[in-house]
Amino acid sequence: MRKALAVARWEFIEKVKTKAFIISLILTPLFMIGAFVLPTLLITKPDTEPRIIGVIDETNDLGKLLSNKLEDKFKLPDGKPNYIIRHIGNRALLDLEEAKKEADNLVVKEDIEGYLIIRSTIYNDSVFEYRAQNVGNIKVTERLNRTIRDLIIEKKLKAENLDPEVIKKLTFPIELKSVKISKTGEEEESDFKTMFFSAYIFIMAMFILIISTGQLLVRSMVEEKSNRIIEVLMSSSSANDLMVGKILGLSALGFVQIGTWALIGIAIALKFGTAIISLTSALVLLPFFILGYLFYAAIFVGVGAPLSTEQEAQQVTGYLVMILFIPLLLAMWIMQDPNSPLISILTFIPLLTPTMMAIRIPIQMPSLFEILANIIVLSLSTVAAMWAAAKIFRTTVLSYGKRPSLKELWHYLKSK
Amino acid sequence: MLSVKNIRKEFSTVVAVDDVSFEVKRGEVFGLLGPNGAGKTTTIRTILNIIQPNRGDIFFDGKPFDDAIRNKLGYLPEERGLYKKNKLLNTIVYFATLKGVPQTEARKRAYDWLKRLDLLAYAERKVEELSKGNQQKVQFIIAILHNPELVILDEPFSGLDPVNQIVLKDLFMEMKDKGKAIIFSTHMMEQAEKLSDKICLINHGKVVIEGKLSEVKSRFGKNTVHIEFDGDGEFLKSTNGIDKLLLYENSAEFEINDHQGVTNLFALLTQKLKIRKYEMIEPSLHSIFLSMVGGNKIKKSEGVSL
């Protein structure tokens, strides 16, 4: 065990000092912020200048109503209206084609953001057109759509001779607030987004840890093989100590990495005041996180030890990562019915257990029995995987060139 | 110290080592000789418990291999390699701690050795900045820093310049005097002859000759002639009555098989060459090596061509 610690110490200290590690430690969160956080912030960021939207109105009054309503409802931070409606075409004698040409010109000149065509048939078919250079601006289209829908419903209700006050009550916007009830009957406020997000964060953390440590493990074995240091190592320490030391040292490295990123993540989350993941879920997930991680580490060792080139190593780690991703493809299905028997069975497959649990636990806590049973199965599989990995490591770490066949691997496992 | 008994190692279709036995005592330099691919490295790896033999036993002071024995072994592998990106001193200290030497002690000893082998200036440099020869010296330090009782060096002299070969030879003698057992493999017979107390010659995985160097030599008799001369020695190739000729530019070694003809031979030599030195000696290891190993090869290739 002392030797395992010496190996762990070496692997950790020598790698933690490398430029590559320090750079990835700093750059990855910056990249994540750049790639995911900034765009979201930009989308939700309010406009600072009013946007001018053209209207070609065949109904005579809807355009005006829309203008009032938009100005009333959406305001810029300084109090000015966010959207200004500009009527296009001769209102009394509208020539649609002529107006369209004029509006198109304005769009191209960027005088207006885009324009609406409200046909007189709108009360019957509820269709209107929005034309712009950028129809991908979801915020604008969504707001226009909602406002016009409300206006039309209001008008229709008015036509039924309803009291304007009643109409106001009836068309009051509805917002969905979902409350999750946990096993103990407590209420927990959550909606689909935060639920998915907490599963997502957990899975991402595990992916990063497994992939980065796994690759480090495989690469370090391949390196020692190619520079033949492995012979000196094997003459100094038992194969088991060597393997355990490597896993310990490189895991510590992985946990430092993920820990740093987690701290940054939590800091950002606190700043924006969103609770990302509930404490209970996190605690239940922790054993799956650690066991799953060790299970995969053993597999990486077993698969990596017989390899002798970097290219082979990359190929093989690629395949392993794919297996890890399978539950994500099933995520939607799992969310619809997290406790179906088939999903329970799939969860018991050790390769899938950690990710399956990561998706299931935040959505609906599985029964205590199922959680314990899964922990036991995963623990046993991890021990078995470690044992097999040590065997394979011991026998193949000195072989070069050809990869062992399945028959040979089986033979290694049976050897003392 | 070490006794190797009837070990055999097979790799899928090849028998790399077949029924090899020998003993090495403390204070002994043991030369493991043989042509390339004879099974020297496999034998060494088996002794170090890096690979397991299919048959046979290996004992250290009468006991089978265990974890405690690892710390008493030092190893310089034939294929040289070190971590390239790490600092010299750290690398040496790491390997010493793996052999059970405490960190501070390892650091101290590493400094001493680096100083002794003229590498102190590189202590804080990366390994990849060193020349091949210097890297080899570092590996040698790694092999002996933990003060092992049995040092195994696979082809220690290859790649070293003459100056460093002498440094290494002195270290050999020093360790020998301290009562360490040393095993080294080589296919360079001159080196083996100068350094070994005992040799074991293996070929195609089998022991060909084994024993004390002096005994091995006397087994091959004292009818070898060594001459040094000026002139063209080509005619020796076609002279009757001599065997196992090794002809060099200004010297030759051969065995006399016709003792009646010695006087005639001597007359012939003095007539054709200007002889500077003439002596009856034990055959050189080189000659023994060639007669045991080279002879086989020639026979084999003839068999193939026929």
Residue written as token pair 């207006």? A112
Band (pLDDT 50/70/90 cuts) for residue B142 is very high
Q: Is A231 in Cβ contact with B73 (below 8 Å)?
A: no
User: Over pLDDT 70: what percentage of chain A?
Assistant: 83
Res B182: pLDDT: 93
**How far, in Å, CA of B153 to CA of B49, rounded?**
15
Sheet holding B274-281, edge to edge: B242-247, B251-256, B224-230, B274-281
Which one of B51, B75, B90, B98 makes the best mutation probe of the A interface by having the most chain A beta carbons within 10 Å?
B98
User: What dihedral angle (degrees, nearest 10) is formed by the CA atoms of A414, B4, B5, B10?
Assistant: 40
Q: Sign of torsion, CA A345 A346 A349 A352?
A: negative
**CB < 8 Å to B82, chain A:** 227, 229
Q: Is A228 in Cβ contact with B79 (below 8 Å)?
A: yes
The type of residue at A137 is N
**How many angstroms from the chain centroid is the CA of residue A373?**
28
What is the pairing mode between strands A83-87 and B206-212?
unpaired
**How many angstroms from the chain centroid is the CA of residue A328?**
10
Please determine, for residue B150, whether its predicted confidence score (pLDDT) is greater than 80. Answer: yes
What is the pairing mode between strands B2-11 and B14-24?
antiparallel
**Which range, A86-100, A299-313, B29-43, B284-298, is most confident?**
B29-43
Q: Is A178 on the interface with B (CB under 8 A)?
A: no
Res B101: pLDDT: 92
Res A190: pLDDT: 53
Residues sharing a CB contact under 8 Å with residue A324, sequence separation 6 or more, in sequence order:
A207, A210, A211, A296, A351, A355
**How far, in Å, CA of B286 to CA of B284, rounded?**
5
Q: Is B97 in Cβ contact with A231 (below 8 Å)?
A: no
The tens digit of pLDDT for each residue in A198-230 reads 677 777 788 888 888 888 888 888 888 888 888
The tens digit of pLDDT for each residue in A159-203 reads 888 777 777 777 666 666 656 665 555 555 555 666 666 677 777
Which one of A224, A229, A399 makes the best mutation probe of the B interface by having the most chain B beta carbons within 10 Å?
A229
The tens digit of pLDDT for each residue in A305-333 reads 888 787 888 888 888 878 777 777 877 77
**How many angstroms from the chain centroid is the CA of residue A30?**
17
Residue written as token pair 């065995």? B255
| Region of B126 on the Ramachandran plot (φ > 0 left; ψ -120 to 50 alpha; else beta) | beta
Distance from CA of A16 to the nearest CA of B (A): 12
Q: Among A338, A246, A351, which Cα is nearest to A288's?
A: A351
Asked casually if ipTM beats, i.e. exceeds, 0.90, the reply is no
User: What dihedral angle (degrees, nearest 10) is formed by the CA atoms of A259, A263, A265, A271?
Assistant: 170
- The residue count of chain A comes to 416
Distance from CA of A210 to the nearest CA of B (A): 24
CB count within 10 Å of CB A28 equals 16
Tell me how far CA of residue A198 lies from CA of A179, A280, A354, A361, in angstroms. 16, 12, 14, 10
**Global pTM value:** 0.72
User: What dihedral angle (degrees, nearest 10) is formed by the CA atoms of A256, A261, A263, A264?
Assistant: 150
